[in-house]
């Protein structure tokens, strides 16, 4: 019998179908429920995109109004949750705080184990509504500030920025932020989404699946890269030093965060839209030096390795210029991706099969016990 072929990292393995989104590396395209993500970023709000991912169609004005009303009503954090989150060490990474928050919200939900589509949609909307408050709490705590109460007169992106930064910024910043949320919302069977589907496939609950997905997203080979990109920029300093820095980093066999992708080999479909948003933020926030460094490193990386930036590369500096602290970049990604994760959890449950792949044994041959 010939040995089975092993696909390390499940690379190229098709494990299921999905109707949520399609990533096409040949045409460098990404569609959510059939709509190109660039069109959604140009014409829709993040709340509409969330509705689309959950329900399969863009909302009518009445459907959007109903969702917005329910979302705005659930933005606040219960006092006990705030107290528990503030009891975590100040050194806790905001991703750990976020993961803990989801776990606590789940433990307090009497419908936690109800896996009906209706109950899970209610949980998805609740997490969607509340996560910006948790992200904002983590940034404000870093500055010795208490959380602000959410504002139900503001849209999702505006309220998120207000809660974190203490004021609603210029419309250009709001739109660039909203663009990033739309681009981050969904990306087929990426590692964190797949994690959420694995957990769901055991018929566990939605909060457990999301908690696990947050853990998967935290790693620098996945969502954590948007924070690592900023660390790279800080290490390099100025554009003139990018090429020499890269030569040494590659000689040291370092991974350059924000470059490369498991699926896209000719460039990430979302980068041009986010690069444009970064440009607009940089023009408003005196970010020309950072933009020069961005271009210098991207050019050097292309020359040295033929590798293209992924979405984390423009998102990191854009968030920095908007006023976010680096440790909240990946939590912002969570707040956006909660829409995609929960759409996949619902899809997994609708046609479930336990996810349990096989392996080839590579350990010691069978042997007899001689010691105990
Ligand atoms: C939103 C997101 O999650 S997007 C991804 C964010 N992650 C990052 O930016 C982390 C940096 N990038 C990487 O580590 C990788 O490109 C990954 C993990 C994203 C994809 O990994 P893979 O699909 O396994 O990469 P792939 O097989 O295409 O790698 C080909 C070669 O390029 C190298 N390579 C790929 N990305 C990078 C990088 N960022 N820096 C240096 N070398 C790299 C690999 O080491 C490999 O080299 P080798 O053939 O000498 O071993
Ligand atoms: O698809 C992936 O592997 C990673 C990614 O870009 C995402 O999750 O947005």
Distance CA 249, CA 255 (A): 8
Ligand 2 atom at minimum distance from 192 CA: 8
Q: Which protein residue's CA is at the shortest distance from atom 1 of ligand 2?
A: 190
pLDDT band at 139 (very low <50, low <70, confident <90, very high): very high
235-256 pLDDT per residue, tens: 999 999 999 999 999 999 999 9
Q: What is the number of residues in the chain?
A: 372
Average pLDDT, the chain: 97
The answer for 323, left when phi > 0, alpha when psi is -120 to 50, beta otherwise, is left
Quick check: 70 pLDDT over 70? yes
> What is the average pLDDT across 153-168?
98
Is ligand 2 within 6 A of the CB of residue 263?
A: yes
Distance of alpha carbon 214 from alpha carbon 331, whole angstroms: 9
Q: Which of 93, 261, 308, 344 is catalytic?
A: 261
Spatial CA neighbour of 271 closest among 183, 202, 195, 332: 183
**Nearest atom within ligand 1 for CA of residue 190:** 3
Give the position, in ligand 2's atom list, of the atom nearest the Cα of 184.
9
- Does the C-beta of 221 come closer than 6 Å to ligand 2? no
- Residue 205 vs residues 11, 21, 209, 236, 372: alpha-carbon distances, Å: 28, 23, 6, 44, 41
Cα–Cα distance measured from residue 190 to residue 263, given in angstroms and rounded to the nearest whole number: 9
pLDDT band at 1 (very low <50, low <70, confident <90, very high): low
Report CA(58)–ligand 2 centroid distance (Å). 23
DSSP, res 29: E
Q: Alpha-carbon distance 35 to 60, whole Å? A: 16
Query: What pLDDT band is residue 3 in, cutting at 50, 70 and 90?
Result: confident
Percent of the chain predicted with pLDDT > 70: 100
| pLDDT surpassing 70 at residue 50 | yes
How far, in Å, from the CA of 359 to the mean position of ligand 2?
25
Q: What is the pLDDT of residue 44?
A: 98
pLDDT tens-digit profile of 204-217?
A: 999 999 999 999 99
Whether the pLDDT of residue 162 is over 80: the answer is yes
Tell me 259's DSSP state. Answer: B
Distance CA 213, CA 196 (A): 5
Q: 313-331 pLDDT, tens per residue?
A: 999 999 999 999 999 999 9
- Is pLDDT above 90 for 348? yes
- Asked if residue 258 lies in contact with residue 316, where contact means CB atoms within 8 angstroms, the answer is yes
Q: Is the pLDDT of residue 73 over 80?
A: yes
ipTM of the complex: 0.98
Q: Is 93 a catalytic residue?
A: no
Q: Is 90 helix (H, G, I), strand (E, B) or coil?
A: coil
**Catalytic site includes residue 312:** yes
Kind and range of the H or E run holding 35: strand 35-36
Token look-up 């000719």 returns 266
To test ligand 2's pocket by mutation, which of 197, 221, 310 has the most ligand atoms within 8 angstroms of CB? 310
The runs of H, that is alpha helices, within 285-362 are 288-305, 312-322, 329-350
CA-nearest residue, atom 2 of ligand 2 = 190
Instruction: Note the pLDDT tens digit of each residue in 254-301.
Output: 999 999 999 999 999 999 999 999 999 999 999 999 999 999 999 999
Query: Per the confidence metrics, is the pTM higher than 0.95?
Result: yes
pLDDT average, residue stretch 18-45? 97
pLDDT grade for 2, boundaries at 50, 70 and 90: confident
| Euclidean distance between CA atoms 203 and 215, whole angstroms | 19
Three-class SS of 103-167: HHHHHCCCCCCCCCHHHHHHHHHHHHHHHHHHHHHHHHHHCCCCCCCCCCCCCHHHHHHHHHHCC
Average pLDDT in the 193-214 region?
Answer: 99
Task: Calculate the CA dihedral of residues 39, 31, 341, 190 and round it to 10 degrees.
Answer: -120
CB 209 within 8 A of CB 200: yes
Can you read off the two tokens belonging to residue 367? 């042997």
Q: What pLDDT shows up at residue 39? A: 98
């Amino acid at each position: 019998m010939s040995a089975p072929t092993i696909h390390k990292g499940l690379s190229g393995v098709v494990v299921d179908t999905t109707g949520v989104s399609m990533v096409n590396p040949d045409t460098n395209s990404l569609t959510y429920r059939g709509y190109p993500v660039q069109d959604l970023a140009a014409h829709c709000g993040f709340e509409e995109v969330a509705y689309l991912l959950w329900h399969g169609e863009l909302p009518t004005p009445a459907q959007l109004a109903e969702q917005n009303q329910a979302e705005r009503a659930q933005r606040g954090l219960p006092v006990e949750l705030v107290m528990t989150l503030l009891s975590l060490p100040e050194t806790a990474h905001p991703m750990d705080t976020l993961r803990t928050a989801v776990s606590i919200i789940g433990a307090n939900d009497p419908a936690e184990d109800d896996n009906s589509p209706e109950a899970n949609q209610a949980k998805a909307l609740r997490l969607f509504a509340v996560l910006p408050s948790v992200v904002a709490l983590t940034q404000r705590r870093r500055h010795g500030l208490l959380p602000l109460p959410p504002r139900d007169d503001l849209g999702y992106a505006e309220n998120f920025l207000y809660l974190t930064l203490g004021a609603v910024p210029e419309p250009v910043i709001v739109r660039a932020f909203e663009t990033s949320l739309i681009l981050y919302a969904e990306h087929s069977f990426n590692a964190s989404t797949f994690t959420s589907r694995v957990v769901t496939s055991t018929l566990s609950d939605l909060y457990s699946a999301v908690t696990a997905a947050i853990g998967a997203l935290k790693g620098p080979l996945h969502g954590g890269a948007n924070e690592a990109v900023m660390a790279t920029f800080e290490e390099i300093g100025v554009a003139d030093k990018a090429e020499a820095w890269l030569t040494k980093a590659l000689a040291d066999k370092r991974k350059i965060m924000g470059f490369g992708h498991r699926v896209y080999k000719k460039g990430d479909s979302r980068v041009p839209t986010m690069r444009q948003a970064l440009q607009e933020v940089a023009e408003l926030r005196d970010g020309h030096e950072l933009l020069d460094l961005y271009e210098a490193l991207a050019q050097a990386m292309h020359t040295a390795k033929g590798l293209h930036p992924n979405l984390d590369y423009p998102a990191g500096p854009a968030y920095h210029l908007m006023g976010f602290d680096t440790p909240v970049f990946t939590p912002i990604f969570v707040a956006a991706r909660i829409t995609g994760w929960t759409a996949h959890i619902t899809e997994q449950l609708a046609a479930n099969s336990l996810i349990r792949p096989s392996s080839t044994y590579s350990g010691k041959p069978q042997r007899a016990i001689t010691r105990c």
